[in-house]
Structure 1
């Protein structure tokens, strides 16, 4: 020590000693590419980096399924590459990780560690502590003092059994043991809170606040410990500590203001960090790291200080993190933790005594953190389950303890045996955090909190004011057929989705009269209706990836609600059109996005969710003939290598399955005419989803700018009055369909087996009684609209009945006729279809296969399951129009 500075100086000297004749042959001259050459270490370094990255990535793929943080894979990868596993292979360590190459690997790893601690400093927001000081102080204090005491007590037997008293002072060893016990892994903690959806709960906010305070005190104790180790006397230690405090004050008071002035002068706050601002920031980072290193405190403390002083205004910290995070996460951190693994030899744990101490280290570390924080949280007023979750989260160790352990190992305080014991403890406690919290604090017990202040409010409380969210949740009447929908949620995912969403929102703008107590339809006045305006909830979804910037965003959702461009555009549109809109934002892992939609729907009492979906821009159109290249339309919309990949079908189907309310999948393919006329076409086949679609179309037609054509299509056999030519064509179609029935039956069965985890929403097992009930409901719904509409509505709504042996072909032909109507050449047509015909008599499997052959598209199981038979027919046929696929609540529970 100072190790960081000495490494730079020694490696610079070796680099200046250049070879007299550079070797140009390499592998072609028969030389071993893994042979270490101090004058040219790049070859071996690339091999080492490649092996490290591949190993950690493979491990992370498996551990991700267990919802474990990435650091577990990185540390395990290092342990496997070290003497515990691969190092036992003869010649592996000598060729891949020779001792002469470790200083070069260590230099790059320590540079990455400084960058990482800078990012950790960027994540620290002092405002979080100030807002929740009252509840978090007790938890943070208990999470430091009690574990530190346990660590100091355990240090006595560890010191006497495994530490050479002539080389290491007990005081130094005790300090490192106590700091390792008292530290909390703040970055890993943020990741776990986000994945468990706890960031906006009372538990999450208290843990986040306590974790920030815990980390700041932990780093201060670590700096004190290093200062004491490096000092030759007590007086020197005092001088080191005073200089470190002075440097901290200088950074917080002087450099922070200078950096803010630079950010404001370069307009980095408004436009993102400029090159000049980035240069100044990097110079401050490594300058601070160098200063703390040369005065006897580790370089990482200076890097941490540099991250704290970066301005947070305008999301500058998030943008700065995005500039650095990928290289740090992909290359630098795996190198550092691999070095930890190379120093870890679990083979040294080879006696009962050693294992007894190892188990004691794990048990006491968990007991100190869990017990202290749980009791403090319980004293602050939390329930036992909430307090237990707080204690479990605070016991997360992760990479921060590993950094402390590596500092102790490099300083000679810890032996490799003790280091290995503590590394195993860090892995066990980090691994146990997620399952323990999930068991103690399941989702149904989560208490949501306000974003600011310690006065937490449970939004699920039935004591909300009249008209509040909780009241709406209990009293909302949704999922009833025939009832006008007035509470909508639109899902904002991409900027390209906004035009179609804003257009359909505009069509729903007028205040629709509620149904009278005696029934009726929109537009049928009974004298006692009340005007109820439509309300729209805009839910912005952001996928949480393995990046620190995503964690920063997830902890700053309040700020993002006011700065996110999609929300800002939709809010502006709503304000200009006098639409009541409430916006919210959810940052979740991909597999939890649909669950987030379902939770949002439940809280707001939503009656219809609108999920947008765009086709690929590569779809080719033939504007002269009005036709499309049908061989590419279907693939462009749903193929995995295009803009709508397979995971998106997984998300949409998850929303269909979990929403618990009516869902509309809006596939925007053509522009709406918002201020002109929009025509809606509904092929009505029957079933709950088609009845919902009919209700929705009639609600749209309450808008005088909307007209509709509703065709009740029934499948029938060929009759004698059909012309011979038409009869021959229909017979040919029927023959093709019948020839494919057997093949289709096998194919559909295999399709169903491929979609485990989702109910079969297409053709459930309906009994004769339920099918008759559904047909009766179809007749009643059809009669209600065809006989009770006012004359004004009849002028804009056309009802037709059509019998056809090929109903999908008939629906497609009618839609094309509406598109090519010479009386309305510029009028856009929107097609509305039901997703499922679960309780209808006919199925469309055979005809769908015929359409597949005609248009050259490949019927994929995931797509067919997503949009249903009728929707798939319109997509495959390339009907250039907006398509809305409706699913009624309850039809997914087959």
Structure 2
């Protein structure tokens, strides 16, 4: 017994030693790339790391030329395949050995099922229903593409396909490959080219949905015919697929909708239990469609289409899955395709002739088919050509078709490589062709596109008269657009709304003949950033639902109702670089009189530690301390906000006001009265500020001090002590050329311009201070004065300091209103501001350009009061 026990122990120890030696890995001299079928994780991680890294690097490069990420992923797959890296000795044997392909294929296909589920979530049938006639008509253009593909299938079959392969099957796959449009890639191209909110973009989205659904049906038909042994079996397969679709679209869809409501997923987002049930349903559907003879991807696609869209549930589901699918799984699928792509097989003149023929005929079929049908439904020739070019986009969807054909042995590797190259060329060419056919100045936006040119010209004429002529009365503003893009802007926006609340017509400073007594309207424009995520694209197509559910807009609408302020709301989903253009277009289309932009520093919890140390604790730091301490150049979020604000300044066809709000405190919230200080130097911006201050003083709770400054020769520099001296690094000399706008330099102060501006200044000033001015309640609340000084900025700072001390003794808040004076300015304060900056510390040069010299001087001195910087509409005089 002892011997037997000892022998058994030796065997156990021997097995343990072998196991340990096998797990020792690199330290035991083992090759980490060696295939271990019982534990393939190590090699899979190496493959995944190489694939994802290469895809991301290429994606960064192609993003510079506005190409979708799919281009980078396809090229990465080709590079890692036999076309390029496969020619390096030992690369394929160590990184992608044949024994590991099955594991890579499994992971890639799991990701593909999830991706098709996301595609199903992305398809919004309401878009098709809203544009049923247009989308249906344009989608019929795929008939021409299918016919051309069927015609090209004959010479391709005769030259490259084995006669044992059914020609009917090859014809069907070729026709589907020609007629299909890559809807997911199409959405991303529309995003990159800023076409989502145009008539062409909405039309292409609608037609793309219909085209995509028809294409998947055709592909299912092709697969059923290939997998079936006879025509009767294929019919049974199709009937089973149709029956399963009906089961999903009716009883399962109703049950899923009931379950989403019962679990609270619609009200509060998908719960863990709802996510579990949905994922099980996705893979159960994929299993069923696979076992009946159709690819598993169709099961995931169908489940994606039945998920409830209520309250953004589909968007929330997409947000939970999209990153993992797009970062990990899809690149693996493209690489798996790339391993089957060998462009080296395209090595004869004949095959290259077919490459060019396939590329041209495929593009021409879509261009002509979709273009002519678009023209038939009322689009202009240039728009129709753009739609035709966009519908020729291929991308991922064609690669799926080709991979299925290759696995079914309908396509040879040579023909597969030919079609992969064709899909790559057509997808790559879509963006530059569309940019050439449909440049930005010719685009017609779907939102506000019904405005007539006559109305726009009338608006432009009104603006020109208002700012270039010598006005005799103020122009009362009744329509305000307030930009809302961050939660922290809500307090500032509420402050602005209280400031511009309508006063009774009896207190107006203008007569009924000189101003329209329409109730002021506040339009809250909600900006949401459009990223390259699928969920962001889904939001862009569901703006109406988002606008009703958006918490920021809901809070502001409620605030308006409680304060008797008519509030309308709008929401746009655009890329960050198009925020400014969207604001300018919205203001023009909605005939706004003034655009308000709040600028509040980011949350202090996220501020750098050095910023907090400079000015004390975060709770004691004002917004202006933050602007002064951190500087534009040191804070990326402030740099983006500055770029956005200056973009609005340079593009807006209407007046703009920038509100730099201090951090709200409990003390300031108790004050209901407002005292306004306006330093008036002259120029269109200051005239606009003067008119605005007079208008808001119609409220009995608002008073103002307006001082007109004129600069005289004398002391050229000033020395000003800040209320609280701090040691702050000088950012004043920093400059970022990438943020330069045309409005950041003073206009040429020639004699004619100076005389015109001074005359307009004098007449407007006399309208309020002249001996023949009729007293009004608004003017009675304003203290007008004039002063001449060689250091006007120093005088403004002293005025604000004295008013601050006075407000501390009285019940009220202080607000400073100033013109930006960045164009058509009469005087430049740059030399005096430089002296103040040297004495008190620096601010970023870009910040100075954004708010102007007067506002910059107040920020440098550590002013704790709200500040409104105004710029008159940028209309040529």
Per the TM superposition, whether the score is higher than 0.5 is yes
* Partners of 2:422 and 2:790 in 1: CA distance: 70
Question: What does 1:293-442 correspond to in 2, within 5 Å?
Answer: 293-442=290-439
- Which of 485, 491, 494 pairs up with 2:483? 491
Q: Does the 8 A contact of 1:512 with 1:532 survive in 2?
A: no
1:104/1:623 Cα in 2 relative to 1: closer, same or farther (>3 Å)? closer
Corresponding position of 1:617: 603
Choose the corresponding residue for 2:661, options 665, 668, 676: 668
Q: Does 1:634 align with 2:628?
A: yes
The alignment partner of 1:615 has SS state of coil
Match of 1:767 in 2: 750
Contact preservation (8 Å) 1:120, 1:304: yes
3-state SS of paired residue (1:598)? helix
Q: Give 3-state SS (helix, strand or coil) of 1:105's partner.
A: helix
1:510 matched to 2:502:
yes
1:203-236: CA deviation from partner (whole Å, max 9, x where unpaired): 3343323222221121111112112222233333
- The CA distance in 2 between the partners of 1:864 and 1:783, in whole Å, is 31
Equivalent position of 1:740 in the other structure: none
Per the TM alignment, residue 797 of structure 1 is displaced from its structure 2 partner at its CA by 1.6
SS of 1:67's partner is coil
Q: Write the distance in 1 (CA, Å) between the matches of 2:620 and 2:128.
A: 62
> CA–CA distance in 2 between the matches of 1:773 and 1:227?
79
Structure 2 residue corresponding to 1:460, chosen from 438, 451, 471: 451
Equivalent position of 1:93 in the other structure? 92
Of residues 851, 855, 863, the one that matches 1:871 is: 855
The yes-or-no answer on 1:56 pairing with 2:55 is: yes
Is 1:694 aligned with 2:722?
no
1:474: how far off?
Answer: 7.2
Write the distance in 1 (CA, Å) between the matches of 2:621 and 2:317. 48
Distance 1:78 1:211 in 2: 26
Cα distance change of structure 1 residues 392 and 24 upon mapping to structure 2, 3 Å threshold = same
300-309 or 374-383, larger mean C-alpha shift = 374-383
Q: Give me the whole-angstrom Cα distance separating, in 2, the residues matched to 1:840 and 1:203.
A: 42
SS of the equivalent of 2:867 reads strand
Q: 2:539 & 2:755 partners in 1: Cα distance?
A: 52
Matches within 5 A, 1:559-570: 559-570=545-556
SS in 1 for 2:434: helix
Distance in structure 1 (CA, Å) of the matches to 2:487 and 2:451: 31
Partner-residue secondary structure (3-state), 1:820: helix
Displacement after TM superposition at 1:616 (Å): 3.2
Question: What's the CA shift string for 1:625-652, capped at 9, x where partnerless?
Answer: 999798754244635446x332222111
Once the 2 structures are TM-superposed, how far is the Cα of residue 841 of structure 1 from its aligned partner? 5.3
Q: Is the 8 A contact 1:396 1:429 kept in 2?
A: yes
Alpha-carbon distance change, 632 to 543 in structure 1, aligned in 2, over 3 angstroms: closer
Distance 1:731 1:681, change over 3 A: closer
> What corresponds to 1:177 in structure 2?
174
Which residue of structure 1 aligns with residue 818 of structure 2? Answer: 833
Q: 2:648 aligns with which of 645, 655, 658?
A: 655
**Alignment CA distance shift 1:319-1:822 (3 Å):** closer
Does 2:636 match 1:646? no
Q: CA deviation at 1:364?
A: 0.9
> TM-score, normalized by length of structure 1?
0.86
Aligned-residue offset at 1:439: 3.3
Task: State the 1:477 CA deviation.
Answer: 4.9
Give 1:260's aligned residue: 257
1:42 is displaced (CA, Å) by 2.6
In 1: Cα distance, 2:146 partner to 2:523 partner: 48
User: Shift of the alpha carbon at 1:491?
Assistant: 0.9
Match of residue 471 from structure 2: none
Q: Does structure 2 conserve the Cα–Cα contact (< 8 Å) formed by 1:506 and 1:674?
A: no
The CA distance in 1 between the partners of 2:525 and 2:624, in whole Å, is 34
Give the Cα separation in 1 of the matches to 2:574 and 2:624. Answer: 36
Contact 1:687 1:774 in 2 (8 A): yes
CA RMSD for the aligned pairs? 3.3
Do structure 1's residue 249 and structure 2's residue 233 form an aligned pair? no
Change (3 A) 1:478 1:580: farther
The separation in 2 between residues aligned to 1:59 and 1:765, in whole angstroms, is 46
Deviation, structure 1 residue 544 = 0.5
1:555 is aligned to 541
Mean Cα deviation higher: 156-165 or 197-206: 197-206
Aligned residues: 834
Unaligned runs of 5+ in 1: 1-17, 451-456, 464-468, 515-520, 720-729, 735-743
| Secondary structure class of the residue paired with 2:526 | strand
1:707 aligns with 2:703: yes
Secondary structure of 1:545 counterpart: coil
Aligned to 1:809: 794
CA deviations on 1:28-75 (whole Å, 9 max, x unpaired) are 444443444333333332232222222222222232232222211221
Name the SS of the counterpart of 1:612 in structure 2.
strand
- Measure how far apart 1:546 and its partner are: 0.9
How much does 1:597 deviate?
Answer: 1.4
Cα gap change, 1:823 to 1:367, in 2 (>3 Å):
closer
Which whole-Å CA distance do the structure 2 matches of 1:340 and 1:111 have between them? 15
Offset at residue 24 of structure 1 (A): 4.5
Deviation per CA, 1:475-515, whole angstroms, max 9, x where unpaired?
A: 8557724322222211111121122112212221215769x
Once the 2 structures are TM-superposed, how far is the Cα of residue 675 of structure 1 from its aligned partner? 7.4
Aligned-pair CA distance for 1:732: 7.8
Q: Is the 8 A contact 1:606 1:661 kept in 2?
A: yes
Q: Is 1:578 the counterpart of 2:564 in the alignment? A: yes
CA contact (8 A) 2:671 2:812 kept: no
1:197 Cα deviation after fit: 4.7
1:682 equivalenced with 2:678 (yes/no) = yes
Q: Deviations over 1:96-118 (max 9, x none)?
A: 33333222222221111111100
Q: Which of 153, 162, 167 is the aligned partner of 2:160?
A: 162
User: Could you say if the C-alpha distance between residues 837 and 204 of structure 1 is closer, same or farther in structure 2, counting changes exceeding 3 Å?
Assistant: closer
1:727 paired residue number: none
Task: Check 1:608–1:714 CA distance in 2 against 1; reply closer, same or farther (3 A cut).
Answer: same
Q: 1:178 to 1:840 in 2, by over 3 A?
A: closer
Distance 1:129 1:853 in 2: 62
* Structure 1 pair 866–81 and aligned structure 2 pair: CA distance change class (3 A): farther
Q: Any idea what SS the aligned residue of 1:412 has?
A: coil
Whole-Å separation in 2 of the counterparts to 1:410 and 1:878: 70
Q: Judging changes above 3 Å, is the alpha-carbon distance between structure 1 residues 680 and 625 closer, same or farther for their aligned structure 2 residues? A: farther
Q: CA contact under 8 A between 1:615 and 1:636: conserved in structure 2?
A: no
- The structure-2 alpha-carbon separation of the partners of 1:400 and 1:376, relative to structure 1 and needing over 3 Å to count, comes to same
Cα distance 1:209–1:856, how it changes in 2: closer, same or farther (>3 A)? same
Q: Which structure 2 residues correspond to residues 843-862 of structure 1 after superposition, within 5 A? A: 843-857=828-842, 859-862=843-846
Rounded Cα–Cα distance in structure 2 between residues aligned with 1:862 and 1:91: 54
Is the alpha carbon distance of 1:366 and 1:839 closer, same or farther for their aligned partners in structure 2, counting shifts above 3 Å? closer
**In 2, Cα distance between the equivalents of 1:50 and 1:873?**
52
1:783/1:96 CA distance change after superposition, 3 Å: farther
CA deviations on 1:281-308 (whole Å, 9 max, x unpaired) are 0000011111111222111011101111
| CA positional deviation for 1:355 | 1.0
Distance in 2 of aligned mates of 1:675 and 1:818: 16
Structure 2: gaps spanning 5 or more residues: 1-16, 468-473, 605-610, 721-729
- Alpha-carbon contact 2:650-2:874 (below 8 Å) kept: no
- Call closer, same or farther: CA 1:838–1:478 in 2, change over 3 Å: closer
| Structure 2 match to 1:107 | 106
